[in-house]
Amino acid sequence: MNNEESAIRTTYFSIAGNIVLAVIKGLAGFFGNSYALIADAIESTTDIFSSLLVLFGLKYAKRPADENHPYGHGKIEPLITFLVVGFLITSATIIAYESIMNILTPHKTPKSWTLLVLGGIILWKEISYRVVLKKVSKPIAPP
């Protein structure tokens, strides 16, 4: 498996993991009165869209040169990076605004079981990190 295939597989893994995390965080945040988990669900949702953009960029960049793109399609990668950064800035702004509004508004204390959810999320993130690190750090066989 080459670097491009490994990057695509890793991106699919990231998308699937973030979909599950976004749903769990959103539900736990809503039912557990945890605005931190809701904010984290928003961040995971942004990660899903960012990963979809990266996936599109990886697949588009692989296309061979053609009449309109004599040097190939690799220049889409900086554009995709710019869009991903835009998503991150937008989500950070929304989360910051909502956090300020929630600090200023009295609300119920989060349920204690939300700490178990957070512990599970931390564990999942660590396992995911190690899986991706293992995939990325594998030596690549020469073509």
Contact yes or no for 50/87 (Cβ under 8 A): yes
Indicate the length of the chain as a whole number: 143
Cα 112 from chain centroid (whole Å) = 27
- Predicted TM-score (pTM) of the model is 0.76
Check if the beta carbon of residue 35 is closer than 8 Å to that of residue 98: yes
Residue position matching structure tokens 């309109």: 68
Contact 11, 54 (CB under 8 A): yes
Query: How much of the chain, in percent, has pLDDT values that exceed 90?
Result: 29
Domain map (residue ranges) of the chain: 3-136
What does the alpha-carbon distance between residue 74 and residue 106 come to, in Å, rounded to a whole number?
Answer: 50
Contacts of 135 (CB under 8 A, 6+ apart): 6, 9, 10
State residue 136's pLDDT score. 67
Q: Name the average pLDDT for the chain.
A: 85
Q: How far apart are CA 106 and CA 127, in angstroms?
A: 36
pLDDT tier for residue 138 given thresholds of 50, 70 and 90:
low
